[in-house]
Structure 1
Amino acid sequence: MGRFFGKGGEKEGPSEGASDVNYSDSEFQKRDLYKKGQNHMSNDKMLDAIRSFELALRVDPKYVDAWVRKGYAHFHLGEYTVAISAYDRALEIDVNNAEAWNLKGLSYYKLKNYEKAIECCEKAIDIDPNDGMAWYNRACYMTLSGNVDEGLEALKRSIEIDIANARKAVKDRDFENARAEEGFRRIIEVVVLESIRQGYDYVGKIVWLTGVDKVEVEDAIMRLSMKGLLTRREKRNITGMEEYFELTKDIADKVGVTKRVGLFGKEKHTSAPMQQLKDISEVLGRAKEAVERGDLDATKQFFDELISPAKHGSAMIEQFFDEHRDLRLAQIRLRDKGQEYLNANKSALSEMVGRIDVKVRQGPVSKPAKD
């Protein structure tokens, strides 16, 4: 399967350590060995990686991250029981390590012990209920064990957390015995709807993008059209009239849309969801009030909401890049200098926030961006 940190995760582990921290010699040594192990894993040198992690564990036998990565290196070599033993050592030290539970479940999955795999996923979810990958893995294991309904419920939850899991699921053979279920057809509808939202508005483009069978795509389009979510359009090309699809206006205003233009559709114009723009404007209004009150904690909180990718940061970067940068720089100064900076710059900060709010209310100017 070749998947890192769960079914469909990334190959590169999190970076360790910070450059401005003074470590003891042993601390530096173990972290250096750990990084070497990560580099070996990135280059598919699993035996060298295991050796580096083992050396790091000689320095510190309670180094949880090294146990976890050592386990996953063994996993890549097909040594699943050895991998499970390494995860168990990590969990003896930190029983609340969600990653270790998730990877342990993946090893049991490879051994086709779906009952144990499900138990591990449930432990990971108990620790972090918003771990979309753990929910996705649970969905796979439940479906494979014959609990299709529970599997689809877990899959829906994983998609609520990360829409990308829908596209992944329609290609995943682990859901083969769920494809005839109504719940899975709805997931295909989600994938088709998201593809059209991103500007892939022809049947052929959707098939190419998602890997979903053409018949299933056409069936999903028919169902979405009957629900009033899609509108059928036609336009002329060199061979005649060609059919394409658009989100209905109400849906487009709620979720935003991407129009692909230019040669081969490589350029795109993106509009933000109307509701999200309203939410951003509301936060800006509260931030302005907090600045004018001189409330440092509230100001930083509202700025965080506008900057953080987990909240409105992604939309701000995409639609209002310069304004996102100004807010981020102001937030850095507020954190560094605190109340003194806020008191001395109330007028400037209030004016900046007000100016951004006006721009958000007007809506972003659609700018083409290369994929």
Structure 2
Amino acid sequence: MKKPFSKKSKDPEESISKKEEFEETSIVDSDYNRKKLFKKGINLMADEKLEDAIVVFEQALRIDPNNVETLMKLGYARFHIDDHGEALKIYDRILDIDVTNPEAWNLKGLVHYEQKNYSKALDSVEKAIESDPTYGMAWYNKACFLSLLNQVPESLEALKRSIEIDVKNARKSIRDKDFANVRIEEGFKRIQEVVVLESIRQGYHTLGAIVWTTFLDKADAESALRKLLEKGLIIQNEKRDGLSKIPIYDLAPNIAEKMGKEKKGLFGITKKRLPKPVKNLKELSQAIQSVREAIEEEDVDKTIEIFDEFIDPSKSGEQMIENFFDEHREIRLWKIRLKDRGQDYLIENKDKMLVLFDNVEVTITKKLRNEIS
């Protein structure tokens, strides 16, 4: 590393080069200081110094008053110190710049929620969903607001939609006080069944462990287990615990094949057990090569077409669900967003897409080597 006070270079061209390099980073890159302030503000927020973070974000906005990234964090900080009026003004500024920004609409909805203005909160999250129909958190918040407005069937439909996008929302809903109006409904009971089924898949086989991991009441967990047994989705056995026997639950064999199972190992570390041998890995690898080319060429129609290779069960969809469940869901969401937003969305998310397919290909390559050996 060059020392700060070392002798000047004897080569005048090198000195000019260093000067130009400095000017390029500090002058030509006009966003340099804003980025520096933005990062400082983020660090202050992480340390829960919200008032200080607000001052820094406002300094950054003097450099670029319309920077959405900075405005979003400023609004978030204002919201968390209960300065709801200023937070709303900031989100409105963002929407003046980009009226289709789903995050700004969703956050605006949360401000109205804190003010107990549930009708306005609902209106905001519906606009977030209009901008991005796959925004799972906006669907979840819509379900909460509808429940608070006592629109029970609509609340359940929105909650189911949020769970389809992200299954973690099922578990989150169990203890959410906003769902007090819908908790007795049969539709919510089915959501409890989903949560119990997922807990069993993760390797929790006794009633106590299921209650502990799902936050369900014991009676609700027992009810969900009975329903799952009646539907043939799980099976019940017994294991000896001292002088007594306790029931244990596991996925039915056909369900285990579809979902895969996670087995708890030493120290509670989860070990994934694939449901059946991976087939047609070479075809899947070839599809990755094709989709990578389409993404790099920024060809929306071709990318959407090849995405079907990873989604359609008659092609490689079943393999993706069994071996790359999260990646399959991500690709499915990308396809929807590409249809809605087109090339702009592809360009914005190009790097993320390529990284996902690179990671899948690495795993496939390892599996191919294991099969060959």
| TM-score under structure 2 length normalisation | 0.71
SS at match of 1:270: strand
Structure 2 counterpart of 1:15: none
SS at match of 2:92: helix
Q: Classify 1:96/1:186 alpha carbon distance in 2 versus 1 (closer, same or farther; 3 Å).
A: same
Structure 1 counterpart of 2:272: 270
Query: Where do 4+ consecutive residues of structure 1 move more than 6 Å?
Result: 298-303, 352-355
Structure 2 counterpart of 1:122: 126
Letter of the aligned partner of 2:284 in structure 1?
A: V
Structure 2 counterpart of 1:110: 114
SS at match of 1:177: coil
Letter of the aligned partner of 1:270 in structure 2?
A: K
Question: Is 2:58 the partner of 1:54?
Answer: yes
Q: Classify 1:41/1:167 alpha carbon distance in 2 versus 1 (closer, same or farther; 3 Å).
A: same
1:341-360 paired onto structure 2 within 5 Å: 358=368
- Considering only CA atoms, is the larger Rg found in Structure 1 or Structure 2? 2
Could you tell me whether the CA contact under 8 Å between 1:284 and 1:357 is conserved in 2?
no
Residue 299 (structure 1) shift: 11
Letter of the aligned partner of 1:284 in structure 2?
A: S
- Unaligned 5+ runs, structure 1: 1-20, 319-331, 336-351, 364-371
Could you tell me whether the CA contact under 8 Å between 2:136 and 2:163 is conserved in 1?
yes
Could you tell me whether the CA contact under 8 Å between 2:274 and 2:322 is conserved in 1?
no
Q: Classify 1:259/1:67 alpha carbon distance in 2 versus 1 (closer, same or farther; 3 Å).
A: same
Question: Is 2:199 the partner of 1:198?
Answer: no
Q: Classify 1:198/1:357 alpha carbon distance in 2 versus 1 (closer, same or farther; 3 Å).
A: closer
Structure 2 counterpart of 1:215: 219
Question: Is 2:94 the partner of 1:94?
Answer: no
| Aligned residue among 235, 250, 254 for 2:254 | 250
| Aligned residue among 131, 136, 159 for 1:132 | 136
Structure 2 counterpart of 1:345: none
Structure 2 counterpart of 1:10: none
C-alpha distance in structure 2 between counterparts of 1:112 and 1:165, whole Å: 22
Residue 235 (structure 1) shift: 1.2
Question: Is 2:228 the partner of 1:227?
Answer: no
C-alpha distance in structure 2 between counterparts of 1:262 and 1:242, whole Å: 22
Letter of the aligned partner of 1:272 in structure 2?
A: L
| TM-score under structure 1 length normalisation | 0.72
Question: Is 2:39 the partner of 1:35?
Answer: yes
Letter of the aligned partner of 2:214 in structure 1?
A: T
Structure 1 counterpart of 2:161: 157
C-alpha distance in structure 2 between counterparts of 1:38 and 1:145, whole Å: 35
Q: Classify 1:355/1:143 alpha carbon distance in 2 versus 1 (closer, same or farther; 3 Å).
A: closer
Could you tell me whether the CA contact under 8 Å between 2:41 and 2:57 is conserved in 1?
yes
Q: Provide the identity percentage.
A: 44
Structure 2 counterpart of 1:69: 73
Q: Classify 1:313/1:156 alpha carbon distance in 2 versus 1 (closer, same or farther; 3 Å).
A: closer
Could you tell me whether the CA contact under 8 Å between 2:112 and 2:118 is conserved in 1?
yes
Residue 313 (structure 1) shift: 11
Could you tell me whether the CA contact under 8 Å between 1:102 and 1:134 is conserved in 2?
yes
Letter of the aligned partner of 1:154 in structure 2?
A: A
Could you tell me whether the CA contact under 8 Å between 1:144 and 1:174 is conserved in 2?
yes
Could you tell me whether the CA contact under 8 Å between 1:281 and 1:357 is conserved in 2?
no
Structure 1 counterpart of 2:263: 259
Residue 355 (structure 1) shift: 6.5
Letter of the aligned partner of 2:121 in structure 1?
A: A
- Unaligned 5+ runs, structure 2: 1-23, 298-302, 311-318, 327-350, 355-361
Q: Classify 1:211/1:49 alpha carbon distance in 2 versus 1 (closer, same or farther; 3 Å).
A: same
CA RMSD of aligned residues (A): 3.5
SS at match of 1:178: coil
Aligned length: 300
Residue 206 (structure 1) shift: 1.0
1:329-365 deviation per Cα after TM superposition (whole angstroms, max 9, x unaligned): xxx9xx9xxxxxxxxxxxxxxxx999766568x69xx
Residue 271 (structure 1) shift: 1.9
C-alpha distance in structure 1 between counterparts of 2:146 and 2:209, whole Å: 32
Structure 2 counterpart of 1:283: 284
Residue 236 (structure 1) shift: 1.5
